């Protein structure tokens, strides 16, 4: 089955093609137009998607070596995400479906992140535990044997990616700060500063990262700008350790409580090297298999959207793949 996936929920204009669980192409453009604003401007994102989509889709089809007529279906992100950008992707996908005659499916972006793990490890099958860590979401979900989703915990304030981005901003890094912060962290001492780990040992699988943000701001103020700059790598390493540490702790607790032997980690933050290393190490000692997507599939992309549609089609769960966009769609509702 050959599927095209289109992703426009935020500031990545992306398209990709899969043949069953094989990636045929993965093309994306991170919109540069937002850089001077320190965050994503929804109206600019919509216009950029409109401008970039035709070229990105043509390139994704070209690299895959398929034409519109070869497609068995077209999938697009119907939520969660920014309303305008989602509508641009939905309309574009609909036009392509009309032109090609291929069926059209609306897909949950978070299921897309999860499908990225299966695209990298096709023998992944439920039951397993999933840690979703992106710029907008931080969730621990149980995927039961029948493929249904059961939420175990979520962030009560900032998402893990947001924690990287907001603390990075305090430290003077550009947006999104996650990748740069983790690069700088490699040269720093993770034990240099003891930053808080929210909701530690509270018995829940929930997270809270807002306290970390305030603690970093206070530390930078206490050090003064010059010293803070001089100790940037130590600050980054310690921030990363606080975020990764609590993610690992809670994920292991949830895996133990659900008695699973497989954990899948997905979303933009799953590209983080320290998270990969710590969770894999901890898993080894407990007989837990920890699976990540290939790094090229961790952050937003269109290939994972095609994968999410494929997973639903294979398991016959096609009921929730409507065309209506829903900016607040949650994992498990679609």
Sheet holding 128-133, edge to edge: 149-154, 138-143, 128-133, 262-266, 289-291
283 binds, among ligand KG4, Zn ion, none (CB under 5 to 8 A by kind): none
Q: Are 274 and 225 in contact (CB under 8 A)?
A: no
Q: Are 136 and 161 in contact (CB under 8 A)?
A: yes
For residues 170 and 308, which CB has a smaller minimum distance to Zn ion in the complex?
Answer: 308
- In whole angstroms, the minimum distance from the beta carbon of 302 to Zn ion comes to 12
Interface segment toward ligand KG4; rule CB under 6 A; list 119-127, 178-186, 220-228, 252-260? 178-186
Of 8, 12, 20, nearest in space to 64 by CA: 20
By CB under 6 A, what part of segment 232-261 binds ligand KG4? Answer: none
State the number of binding residues for ligand KG4 (CB under 6 A).
Answer: 19
Site string for Zn ion, 123-152 (x = CB under 5 A): -----------x------------------
Question: Is 71 in a helix, a strand, or coil?
Answer: coil
Give, in degrees to the nearest 5, the angle at Cα 174 between 57 and 154.
75
- In whole angstroms, the minimum distance from the beta carbon of 99 to ligand KG4 comes to 29
Interface segment toward Zn ion; rule CB under 5 A; list 90-98, 249-257, 269-277, 298-306? 298-306
Which residues make Cβ contacts (< 8 Å) with residue 189, sequence separation at least 6?
233, 234, 237, 238
Q: Are 313 and 107 in contact (CB under 8 A)?
A: no
Site string for ligand KG4, 93-132 (x = CB under 6 A): ----------------------------------------
Residue 20 vs residues 242, 298, 303: alpha-carbon distances, Å:
38, 19, 11
User: Interface with ligand KG4 includes 271 (CB under 6 A)?
Assistant: yes
Which spans of this chain sit near Zn ion (rule: CB under 5 A)?
134, 300
Binding site for ligand KG4 (CB under 6 A): 10, 134-136, 161, 164-165, 176-179, 182, 267-269, 271-272, 299-300
């Amino acid at each position: 089955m050959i599927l095209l996936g289109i992703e426009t929920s935020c500031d990545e204009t992306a398209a990709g093609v899969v043949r069953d669980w094989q990636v045929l192409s993965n093309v994306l453009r991170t919109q540069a137009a937002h850089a001077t604003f320190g965050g994503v401007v929804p109206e600019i994102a919509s216009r950029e998607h409109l401008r970039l989509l035709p070229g990105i889709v043509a390139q994704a089809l070209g690299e895959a070596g398929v034409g519109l007529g070869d497609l068995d279906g077209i999938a697009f992100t119907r939520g969660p995400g920014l309303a305008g950008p989602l509508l641009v992707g939905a309309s574009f996908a609909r036009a392509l479906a009309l032109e090609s005659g291929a069926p059209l499916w609306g897909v949950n972006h978070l299921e897309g992140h999860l499908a990225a793990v299966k695209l990298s490890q096709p023998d992944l099958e439920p039951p397993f535990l999933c840690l979703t860590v992106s710029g907008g979401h931080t969730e621990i979900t149980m995927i039961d044997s029948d493929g249904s989703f059961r939420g175990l915990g979520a962030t009560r304030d900032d998402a893990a990616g947001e924690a990287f981005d907001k603390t990075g901003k305090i430290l003077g890094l550009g947006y999104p700060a996650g990748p740069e912060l983790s690069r700088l962290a490699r040269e720093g001492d993770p034990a240099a500063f003891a930053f808080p780990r929210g909701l530690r040992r509270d018995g829940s699988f929930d997270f809270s990262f807002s306290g970390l943000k305030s603690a970093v701001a206070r530390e930078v103020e206490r050090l003064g700008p010059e010293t803070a700059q001089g100790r940037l790598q130590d600050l980054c390493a310690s921030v990363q350790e606080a975020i990764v540490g609590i993610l690992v702790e809670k994920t292991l607790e949830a895996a133990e409580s659900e008695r699973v032997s497989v954990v899948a980690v997905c979303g933009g933050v799953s590209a983080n090297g320290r998270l990969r290393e710590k969770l894999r190490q901890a898993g080894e000692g407990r007989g837990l298999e920890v699976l990540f997507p290939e790094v090229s599939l961790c952050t937003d992309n269109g290939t994972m959207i095609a994968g999410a549609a494929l997973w639903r089609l294979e398991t016959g769960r096609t009921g929730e793949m409507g065309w209506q966009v829903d900016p607040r769609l949650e994992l498990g509702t679609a």
